[in-house]
Each structure stands twice: as C-alpha cells, then as structure tokens.
Amino acid sequence: MDILNSILHVLLIVLICLLVAFILAIVLTVVYENGRKKKGKKRKENAIWEDRKRNFFGMPWSFTKYALDNQRFYLERGLFNTRYDEVRLYRMTDVVLERTLSQKIFGLGSLRIDSSDKNLGNFNIVNIKDSEKVKELFSQKIEEQRRANRVYTRESIGDPDEGHEGFEDDDLDDDRA
C-alpha cells in the first residue's frame, strides 16, 4: 500500500509540474507576442502580415513562420535545417479557407493556396490567427499583383460543348466577304 501511495504522490507532483510549466509557457508566449506588437518589430522588412504556425491551444510553438508583403509570400520552416521559400503573389490562383471545429474553438484557421510556383506548388498555411481577415488580405493582394503584372487565367464559363448564344459559324463567313 505504501508503494502505491508513493507512486500516486510522484504522479501528482509530476502532473502539477507539467501544469505549472504549461501555464508559464502560455504566459510567456502572450507577453512575448504583445511586446513584439507594441514595439512594432517585424521578422521581415516591409511585411504587411506575419504569423507562426500555431499548435495545440493556438500557441505559436513551432518553427514554421509566415510573412506577406505587397509582392511576395514567405515561408520559413525548420530549426536546424531551415528552408526558405517565397512565392510571388501573381503566381497564386486560388485561396481557400478551411476551419475544423477545434480551430474554430481556438480562433484559428488554415489557408489552402493553389499556385503555379515550380518549387512550392500548391501549399497550406496552417493554423493561423484571424484566418478570415488573412484570406481576404491574400485575395486582395493577389488580385492587385495579377493586375499589375497583367497575369490572367482562363476560366471557362458554361459547358464547353454548348454553343455560345448569339454567335454562329456563319457570322465568320459574312465578315470575310
């Protein structure tokens, strides 16, 4: 019986230590993030949006960093082996917001972005704060860059097998005569 009580006491002490460490980590994260916002520090110069991939409970405890400026999106991954990717905004073709129940609970969301970039291709921006606002920011900046670079995508409207109203093959012959 004494051994069982000893084991329970040790487990209780370990549980309390983990809980204190978790609460301390949350407090330090909040203080750090608020300090960065007040000082206006940015990871990337000229960035209009920055965030980190957030893990459980919405805490930014990862080594994946995101940044957006007026022309490019930056993705940095890894601690020891770091990979830096960037995509020009005019190469992006579609932005989709996806939110699971747990993401909604913690105020997070993920963006799925289709792009024509050769290295990165289609990619996800996972577990970010204010995901709805970020999606709208991406959509706005992508359209601005596509217009500025005169990049257009072909979108088919309607069924390609159907003829177009008001257009007949005979009209071409009349113009040539």
Same domain, 29 and 65: no
pTM equals: 0.64
Inside any domain, residue 24: yes
Same domain, 66 and 138: yes
Same domain, 29 and 97: no
Inside any domain, residue 164: no
Number of domains in the chain: 2
User: Which pLDDT score is estimated for 57?
Assistant: 73
Inside any domain, residue 169: no
Same domain, 48 and 31: no
The predicted model gives 59-74 an average pLDDT of 90
pLDDT tens, position by position, 81-137? 999 999 999 999 999 999 999 999 989 999 999 999 888 899 999 999 999 999 999
Tell whether the model's pLDDT for residue 36 goes beyond 70: no
Same domain, 29 and 84: no
CATH number of the domain at 50, please.
Answer: 2.30.29.30
Q: For residue 108, give both structure tokens.
A: 């997070």
Query: What one-character-per-residue DSSP string does 85-122 give?
Result: EEEEGGGEEEEEEE--HHHHHTTEEEEEEEE--TTT-S
User: Which pLDDT score is estimated for 2?
Assistant: 84
**In terms of residue numbers, what domain contains 119?**
42-151
